[in-house]
Amino acid sequence: MSDAGLTLHYAPRSRSATALWLMEELGEPYTLESFSLATGHHKTPAFLAINPMGKVPAVVDHGRAVAELGAIAIHLADRYPAAGLAPAIDHPQRPDYLRWIFFSSAIFEPALAQKFFGWTPPASTVAWGSYDEMIRVATAGVQPGPWLLGDHFTAADVLVASGLGFGMRFGAIPAEGPLHAYVTRATDRPAYARAQAIEAREGARFPPA
Ligand SMILES: N[C@@H](CCC(=O)N[C@@H](CS)C(=O)NCC(=O)O)C(=O)O
């Protein structure tokens, strides 16, 4: 394994913000490789070697590339357990933790796109069911709280709260009730504030094209 440390490949105003929040929760030293998506850097052979999808975020951990937010979350939380962001593999809450990680990318993301783009696919056929089912399960999941696994804040909360907050900012998820209270709790965390400060700095450095 190379000893090049931990690097987050990041672009402002993108899902990279979720990985940035994860990094700040992790508390490990890392290098931020920041660029504007307008440069097309994420479609170059060098970047495609890190993430063949040519999308951000991506992480390189001592020479090992990890892409996809769910995979990044699982990898970082397990590899740096001092941050306490994941239940151990034999912990009774581990299956629920994994379900929420996958909920974020396999159910939440496409359900939000369904709402946003006005798709009307049959709920029994598509993998994510429906937007309404997603909202029902998420709303039940954040109660009684404070976190998805009760008292234990995990990497799954970063993914789910980040996605819900994004949906609320764009009006695709009502900013009210238990979901809003949950997002507020999560975004009150100091690591979120640190990530937002970096996001603001990098956003100013690379303004929208
Ligand atoms: N499934 C990916 C989604 C990543 C993604 O959609 N990234 C967008 C930015 S929000 C991107 O890189 N878009 C640039 C492009 O595709 O050209 C994940 O979970 O990490």
pLDDT by residue (tens digit) across 39-72?
999 999 999 999 999 999 999 999 999 999 999 9
8 A C-beta contact, residue 20 and residue 8:
yes
- Tell me which residue of 66, 65, 68, 77 sits closest to 23, measured CA to CA: 77
- Domain holding 73, by residue range, is 6-84
**14 and 47 together in one domain:** yes
Within a 13 Å sphere around the CA of 138, how many CA atoms are in the beta-carbon half? 35
**78 and 103 together in one domain:** no
- Closest atom of ligand 1 to CA, residue 56: 12
Question: In angstroms, rounded to a whole number, what is the distance separating the alpha carbons of residues 4 and 172?
Answer: 40
8 A C-beta contact, residue 78 and residue 71:
no
pLDDT at 3 over 60: no
Residue 209's pLDDT band (boundaries 50, 70, 90)? confident
pLDDT at 105 over 70: yes
Q: Is the CB of 56 under 6 A from ligand 1?
A: yes
Question: In angstroms, rounded to a whole number, what is the distance separating the alpha carbons of residues 203 and 79?
Answer: 29
What is the chain's Cα-based Rg? 17
Whole-prediction pTM? 0.97
**138 and 163 together in one domain:** yes
156 CA → ligand 1 middle, Å: 18
Q: What is the CATH number of the domain that holds 22?
A: 3.40.30.10
- Closest atom of ligand 1 to CA, residue 67: 20
Q: Is the CB of 13 under 6 A from ligand 1?
A: no
Q: How many CB atoms lie within 10 A of CB 144?
A: 6
**Of all protein residues, whose CA lies closest to atom 13 belonging to ligand 1?**
55
- Closest atom of ligand 1 to CA, residue 58: 20
Q: Is the CB of 14 under 6 A from ligand 1?
A: yes
**80 and 43 together in one domain:** yes
Q: Which secondary-structure segment (H or E) carries 195?
A: helix 190-205
- Tell me which residue of 119, 116, 121, 133 sits closest to 168, measured CA to CA: 116
**74 and 109 together in one domain:** no
209 CA → ligand 1 middle, Å: 17
Confirm whether 197 is domain-assigned: no
**Of all protein residues, whose CA lies closest to atom 6 belonging to ligand 1?**
55
- Closest atom of ligand 1 to CA, residue 37: 14
Strand partners, 65: 60
**Residue 58 DSSP SS3:** strand
Question: In angstroms, rounded to a whole number, what is the distance separating the alpha carbons of residues 29 and 27?
Answer: 7
pLDDT digits (tens, 9 = 90+) for 148-174: 999 999 999 999 999 999 999 999 999
**108 and 51 together in one domain:** no
Given 19, 51, 84, the domain boundary residue is 84
Tokens of 134: 């997603």
**99 and 179 together in one domain:** yes
Q: Is the CB of 71 under 6 A from ligand 1?
A: no
Q: Is the CB of 15 under 6 A from ligand 1?
A: yes
Phi, psi of 7, deg, nearest 5: -130, 135
- Closest atom of ligand 1 to CA, residue 19: 20
Distance (Å) of CA 62 to CA 5, 54, 75: 5, 20, 12
91 CA → ligand 1 middle, Å: 32
Would you list the DSSP string of 130-170? -HHHHHHHHHHHTSS-SBTBBTB--HHHHHHHHHHHHHHHT
